[in-house]
Amino acid sequence: MKRWNEGSGGTEDKIPDNRQALQAADKPVYSPAVRKAMNLLLHRDRTERELRSRLEAGGFPADEIDDAIAYTASFGYVNDRRYAENYAVSFSGKKSRRMIAADLRQRGVDEIWIEEAVAGLPEDESDQIMDLIRKRAGEPHVLEAAEKRRLHGYLARRGFGTGEIVRAIRSFERNA
């Protein structure tokens, strides 16, 4: 088998002078906005609105931003439905359904995808609240007033309702 640099020394066997130029011509040329979008998506998944916002902050023209988003979406790199499902699964043990939905709305996910993602989560969040209480307070015991306030605030910041929190704290103390 003959290699490209072996042979009779004829013109067909010689290395072309512009080999580097030919190799570079085979590589597609992407706009700076596409390169920036791809770099942003390397680090973590993003919604279309998050990606658009980051590209706008980078000073790219609107038409380049639209092209970059269309390009990344054509390969499935930007997919708000997938983002919503993954987000809901990731935070289901740490945040309430209500908080997950609010976070997704804030990130610009369509309401259809939010409802679909949250529908897959358990409706009764009492077990989840109890797990968070045990993680924070330890073994069941009667809580002091300050400890109850801190625990209530902790759970409220994760989107759980006051009634659910009070019931869970009472149940935790009853198990002491």
80 and 48 Cβ atoms separated by less than 8 Å: yes
pLDDT at 98 over 70: yes
CATH architecture of residue range(s) 126-174: Orthogonal Bundle (1.10)
Say if 32-74 and 126-174 have the same CATH topology.
yes
Which tens digit of pLDDT belongs to each residue from 108-120? 999 999 999 999 8
Residue-range domain boundaries for the chain: 32-74, 80-119, 126-174
Which tens digit of pLDDT belongs to each residue from 49-87? 999 999 999 999 999 999 999 999 999 999 999 999 999
Which tens digit of pLDDT belongs to each residue from 126-157? 999 999 999 999 888 898 999 999 999 999 99
- Long-range contact set of residues 59-65: C-beta below 8 Å, sequence gap at least 24: 60/32, 60/33, 60/36, 61/33, 64/31, 64/32, 64/33, 64/34, 65/33
Task: Write out the CATH class of domain 32-74.
Answer: mainly alpha
